[in-house]
Amino acid sequence: MISWQAKALNLFLKQTVKRSIENTKDVNKLRFQMLALDKFVFGTSANIQHSQSVRAGTLCDEIQLKFSNTKKKLLYVHGGAFVFKTPAIHNNFIARLAEPLDLHAIIPDYPLAPEQPFPAALDCCYDIYLSLLDAGTLPEDIIVAGDSAGGNIALSLLLRAKRNGLPMPSCCVLLSPVADMTQSGMSSVENRYSDALFSLEVMLHCRNWYLGGDNTDLHNDEISPLFGDFTGFPPFMFHVGSTELMRDDSTRLAEFMQAKGVDAHLQIWRQMPHVFPLFEQLPESKAALIQIIDFIKKHQNKS
């Protein structure tokens, strides 16, 4: 059964954010509405330390337990349709991961479109992954995670890393990743009205802002990682809502990975909004977080 909190959140998102940004072609309006959402967070644990650093030329937020000497690194690529960011929501969620797992989380403040279109964000995050390896971090001590557009970038950086002969991380967790820019999944049609946050029109505008032109090959696996070769990939976990526009990005990713022998776990949550684990007020978010923690612990213990 869907919780009353999730029902209330779906209604709030549909009647406020989705209605406000529907059909918008104004990226600044979209950013303003999403920053308003960024206020709906609680404080993080007193055990968590926040800092900033510059890695591979990019400013990064860093989150870890106070006085921790952990070698485990979580490279988290935040979502935001490639064009906006909600640092309070994301950092709150990442802190809830970092504390029980004793992870040192790194969250790149990657360049946003349309000012800096593809491949600027991917180049930035790939360079940070490479810098972790160059600094001596063992691949088995790295976890890669991301949500929505960040899931796209995380997948693309791993496909590029594989092509360039770099080792894979220990595991990867993705929340409602954008993986198919061709919008060929049935959920793009079936869930056009049921998605609580985004309309298809807004998603297409964001895609066009990110790609920055009309002559882009949408089947390029650094743009639509769904079409990549997942042979040799580490274990993956996906969480997605049943009524999301991008539901089938996750379902097909899991299917294609499993066909290549990847240990891919898929969790489809009934009527959950886009990247629902970020909304800590939801019981479903707490349940998903437990599953993610258990998944990462399992693969940490193997390293």
Residues 106-135 have pLDDT tens digits of 999 999 999 999 999 999 999 999 999 999
Q: What pLDDT, on the 0 to 100 scale, is given for residue 42? A: 67
pLDDT single digits (tens) 162-191: 999 999 999 999 999 999 999 999 999 999
The token pair that represents 276 in the structure block? 């629902």
- Pairing outcome for strands 73-77 and 104-108: parallel
Which amino acid does the sequence have at 214? D
User: Burial, 131: exposed, middle or buried (Cβ in 10 Å; 0-12, 13-18, 19+)?
Assistant: middle
Q: What pLDDT, on the 0 to 100 scale, is given for residue 29? A: 86
Q: What pLDDT, on the 0 to 100 scale, is given for residue 108? A: 98
247 vs 36, more confident: 247
Torsion sign over Cα 171, 274, 43, 90: positive
C-alpha angle 201-112-15 in degrees, rounded to nearest 5: 40
- DSSP-derived letter for residue 272 is P
Does residue 303 have a pLDDT over 60? no
pLDDT single digits (tens) 17-58: 888 887 778 899 888 888 877 877 767 788 999 999 999 999
Alpha carbons 106 and 219: distance in angstroms, whole number? 29
Active-site residue among 62, 148, 187, 285?
148
Cis amide prior to 167 (ω within 30 degrees): no
Active-site residue among 99, 222, 244, 284?
244
Q: What pLDDT, on the 0 to 100 scale, is given for residue 215? A: 66
Alpha carbons 88 and 38: distance in angstroms, whole number? 6
Is residue 107 within 8 A of residue 270, CB to CB? The reply is: no
Identify whether 68 is a catalytic site residue. Answer: no
Q: What pLDDT, on the 0 to 100 scale, is given for residue 124? A: 98
Does residue 149 have a pLDDT over 70? yes
Q: What pLDDT, on the 0 to 100 scale, is given for residue 302? A: 67
Q: What is the 3-state secondary structure (H, E, C) of 65-125?
A: ECCCCCCCEEEEECCCCCCCCCHHHHHHHHHHHHHHHCCEEEEECCCCCCCCCCCHHHHHH
Q: How far is CA 60 from CA 55, 87, 132, 274, in A?
A: 7, 11, 13, 24
pLDDT band at 279 (very low <50, low <70, confident <90, very high): very high
Identify whether 244 is a catalytic site residue. Answer: yes
